[in-house]
Structure 1
């Protein structure tokens, strides 16, 4: 009977599993702020939960809505710029690039080959413009879907803010009865890992946003720091910053500024875009006090297997498994693992700690 009940609950809640997981992550990562606000309001938990919900909604949904409006206004301009590049041809390679030692001659040769083959390039690209439009529409649909998911998650987060303590108290009791002290320790490891992932993700996003903004500023792109601010949020989505830098590169090529277009392509598209694969696991590993390889495999594998939510679930699952394997194998606790007594303390300030 209990199994049938659990299966029925899963079927009913299945459409909301992603939203519930995001609500848990949002609530947990902002719990300390909720506690401070609750104390400032004299212990009025419901009011504090409502204010936190509005704040999270403004921070998350506001930039996404602004991005959607900006994309809808500039898609036509982007296609016009692409058509202009195809019609007028590639601009000449700047002399300073052609004069670079070792690579300058090769760059000039490759660029010249591209310029000489532009007629064929237009023939190939022209029929694909319809497919590109379809991709843009699909991306806009994905943005709308993601915004809807966040809105539902924020709504659920209100109840976690309000009733989180009681819910986690029951969860810890149930887990303790099922698996003993090891289950509670696993919850502590999961809590520390979630905090580490949040700090690592936000820290990496900040570094990428600053680096991208500086690149846009050097290239003379209008609104460079606004683009950097939007990049901060787009770095949370795989290939998200390309929504910004690809149109910027096309715009620079269209105005004849080939050198700066190539600079943005290399700096933002390759260098800044690669930072998350290197910097994020390092920051998460330091924050969660876990080995780099565990965090790296958790982040990359989680993203590949589960999408964006895997960015959080992957490291949490591997961290808990890593801790259990160490205990079962009889290993002693060292700096590479997190213990309830030596944890960061952040998790215990949140509801599951």
Structure 2
């Protein structure tokens, strides 16, 4: 006698089949993600660079016989040639800064002057600070022995951050090369992006979704990250040429301030004051001061030229993206974080505003 299937049993069997298929798909997605995860940041940055530089490729490919591959190769080679010199100078400056700091610490001639008597009269921290300062000036070796575990931990963290910066620069060059490959197939990539967006949100909203993501990426990459990177190079090269101690680290601080939308003159003004205090008022220091001020305020000129129109991303979103990206993904996350968070912010508000007609209250419907 053949078994009979009731509607409830058929429904249960159908749900079981759906759950099994969903489980197999989830396992496949997890394995694919684990395999691709080591290259995630590199590919994200490559896609961001490709989307940002693609309009430039469209401008110059007409002069190269409409060859996308030639135009992309030319852009990548020029970008690497332009970036290698300042990156080399900043990297050399960072290495010299670390070596100088180690030399000063190891030197027996290094001496800290004793504190003044007024330090002890400061409220709350006066007496402890006076005692610690006095011990440093009289028995520095004893203080160093006490603080040696903390100094080792701090030194390892600093060296780790510097190594992360070096890896970030290498990833930047690698992402630039991959971006050139992606730009060589730009038309195909554009069609694929529209197809994916249409598959996710429907054929009507798909092209608008792809266009919104593209506009947001270009606006943030050019108007925030790009301007901050240019300012870092301008300010950093000036610091290196002038022989400012720790020029590479100061340039990285300028990069961080630029991405956080804070004025870079917060770095350049103290450096200018240091140059005048140590070198005096000479032709070199005056030229350096003028150059540093212009480089520190270059964002006021670059933003109207590079910032995309029609895309408004609040500064707190950029700030949180920069800090969160740097904490989670290191130096390269400083660039990726603001772009990804800005795209998510724009997509969220697009989803909020793009409500179906039935979801709009009666008082908000047009008459």
- Show the counterpart of 1:81: 104
1:31 deviation in Å? Answer: 1.7
1:116 deviation in Å? Answer: 2.8
Distance 1:117 1:226 in 2: 28
- Show the counterpart of 2:189: 167
- Is 1:222 the counterpart of 2:242? The answer is yes
- Show the counterpart of 1:319: 346
Q: Which moved more, 1:16-25 or 1:288-297?
A: 288-297
- Show the counterpart of 2:46: 23
- Is 1:42 the counterpart of 2:65? The answer is yes
Maintained 8 Å contact 1:299/1:311: yes
1:172 deviation in Å? Answer: 0.5
- Structure 1 residue runs of 5 or longer lacking an equivalent are 99-104, 240-244, 258-272, 332-353
- Show the counterpart of 1:201: 225
1:82-141 CA distance string (max 9 Å, x none): 456994114889xxxx9xxxxxx969x799836434246653345255445433432342
Evaluate the alpha carbon distance shift between residue 236 and residue 53 of structure 1 in structure 2; reply closer, same or farther with a 3 A threshold: farther
1:25 deviation in Å? Answer: 1.1
Evaluate the alpha carbon distance shift between residue 73 and residue 190 of structure 1 in structure 2; reply closer, same or farther with a 3 A threshold: same
TM-score scaled by length of structure 2: 0.59
1:22-55 CA distance string (max 9 Å, x none): 0011111222222222122121221111111222
Maintained 8 Å contact 1:23/1:154: yes
Distance 1:190 1:201 in 2: 16
Q: Which moved more, 1:290-299 or 1:44-53?
A: 290-299
Where 2:65 maps in the other structure, the secondary structure is: coil
Maintained 8 Å contact 2:322/2:338: yes
- Show the counterpart of 1:145: 167
Number of residue pairs aligned between Structure 1 and Structure 2 = 283
Distance 1:161 1:8 in 2: 28
1:166 deviation in Å? Answer: 0.6
1:187 deviation in Å? Answer: 2.1
- Is 1:116 the counterpart of 2:134? The answer is yes
Name which structure has the greater RCO, CA cutoff 8 Å, separation 6+. 1
* 1:127-276 equivalent positions in 2, closer than 5 A: 127=148, 128-180=150-202, 181-198=204-221, 199-204=223-228, 222-223=242-243, 227=247, 231=251, 235-236=255-256
- Structure 2 residue runs of 5 or longer lacking an equivalent are 1-20, 261-266, 279-295, 362-367
Evaluate the alpha carbon distance shift between residue 223 and residue 29 of structure 1 in structure 2; reply closer, same or farther with a 3 A threshold: farther
* 1:52-91 equivalent positions in 2, closer than 5 A: 52-82=75-105, 87-90=110-113
- Show the counterpart of 1:266: none
Distance 1:34 1:158 in 2: 10
Maintained 8 Å contact 1:303/1:311: no
Please provide the CA RMSD for this pair: 4.8
Evaluate the alpha carbon distance shift between residue 233 and residue 202 of structure 1 in structure 2; reply closer, same or farther with a 3 A threshold: farther
Maintained 8 Å contact 1:196/1:288: yes
